[in-house]
Amino acid sequence: MDFQPDAGLDIFRQEVRDFLRDNLPADLAGKPSCSIRSALPDLVRWQRILDARGWGAPYWPKEHGGTGWSVLQRLAFDEECVAAGAPTLDGFAHKLLGPVINHFASDGQKAEHLPGIFQATRLWCQGFSEPGSGSDLASLRTRAELDGDHYVVNGQKIWTSYAHQADWIFLLVRTDASARKQAGISFLLVDMKTPGITVRPIHSIDGCHHLNETFFDNVRVPVHNRIGAEGDGWKITKFLLNNEHATAADLPILRRYQQQLRALLRELPAGAERLLEQPGIVLQLVRFEAELDAVAMLVKRVAAMEQAGDHGPAAHALGSVLKVSGTELQQRVTEFMVEVLGDYGAIAYPTPEAMDTTAERLPREELARGIAMEMLFRRASTLYGGTSEVQRGIIAKLLFQL
């Protein structure tokens, strides 16, 4: 394919930069966060700023109230937002549930749920994984039994990110235990304030809390909160998980890591020299940057396939290749950053909000802030969204179809 510079994309990227310069409040920019998502007040405030600009749904087509941006424009938008330190969005709503509602929901369901996404008045979490049903998602056991005009839901979900902050959850449940496991699944939308829902925190290895266990004990869910027909859950889930292959590598985060690593190597001494002047260190940096360039080229290739409507085996296989290569690179780069920090890398420095403001700052504390926590968190990046082992199996299976 043609990898020549795209003048139109450059103009668009500059438009995003100008908008960020003029509209991103200084008190929101570059705030470190003890999680993969910004603090809730920051997320809500930023979402409303974007919505006022007409960018409240940056990943959706115009007919659904979105920007209508191309895949490459969406990637450029994400890159510029990360580079500027903008708060994150509610990714569950924008990239997962939103397209499902736009594609499968009734007009009444759209009218009920979409406005809350644009204004961040209704935040979402995802109820898919269960104990023993992670990689084999179709083996889920949370059941929903029909009782008049309601389903009665019983079961447990795990690794439910931000369930403690979410207003609603989109939930996979088993509505037909006699059908083959993929055929007996339905897709429900559930108000988290419904009686019978219990959320218990899980603190991850980075010391943060965004994960949870979520329990459902005779939770009554109106039938009109089901998306699609009963038993359509697996079809809807495949649509949801196949969305946005080009984002699987999280290229904006990789670019931020590249900038952080270069800054560390410029600042940290190694005897009379800087680390950036050490041949072995420079060689490792160049290797990382070559891998990043390769990931970026593959992102462009997958984005072009998505833009052309190519959702065949090759596109799915390349999406899995991106997931493996991008997440494994995240792990190696963050581990290397901890290594070059030396003694400072052994401490997970807290965010400014969590700091004792009366404590004396260590000389390189600002350089090291968040890096060890990021490294620990990225241990999970090869697990969530489909493990590397599962992705390699998908690649092998799809290659036989080409």
**Among 169, 100, 89, 98, CA closest to 128:** 169
pLDDT of residue 358: 53
Q: Say which CATH architecture domain 244-399 belongs to.
A: Up-down Bundle (1.20)
Q: Say which CATH architecture domain 124-230 belongs to.
A: Beta Barrel (2.40)
Contact criterion met (CB below 8 Å) for 338 and 401: no
Provide the 3-class DSSP secondary structure of residue 241. helix
Q: Catalytic site residue 353?
A: no
Q: List the chain residues with pLDDT less than 70.
A: 1-5, 32-35, 244-246, 272, 350-363, 402
Cα 339 from chain centre: 26
Q: Out of 80, 130, 244, 306, which one is annotated catalytic?
A: 244
Could you give the CA distance from residue 347 to residue 341 in angstroms, rounded to a whole number?
Answer: 10
Could you give the CA distance from residue 88 to residue 81 in angstroms, rounded to a whole number?
Answer: 8
pLDDT of residue 137: 82
pLDDT of residue 74: 93
End-to-end CA distance of the chain: 19
pLDDT of residue 128: 95
Could you give the CA distance from residue 272 to residue 282 in angstroms, rounded to a whole number?
Answer: 16
Both tokens of 127, joined, read 């109820």
pLDDT of residue 172: 97
Q: Apex CA 249: angle with CA 246 and CA 250, to 5°?
A: 95
Q: Where are the domains of the chain?
A: 7-89, 124-230, 244-399
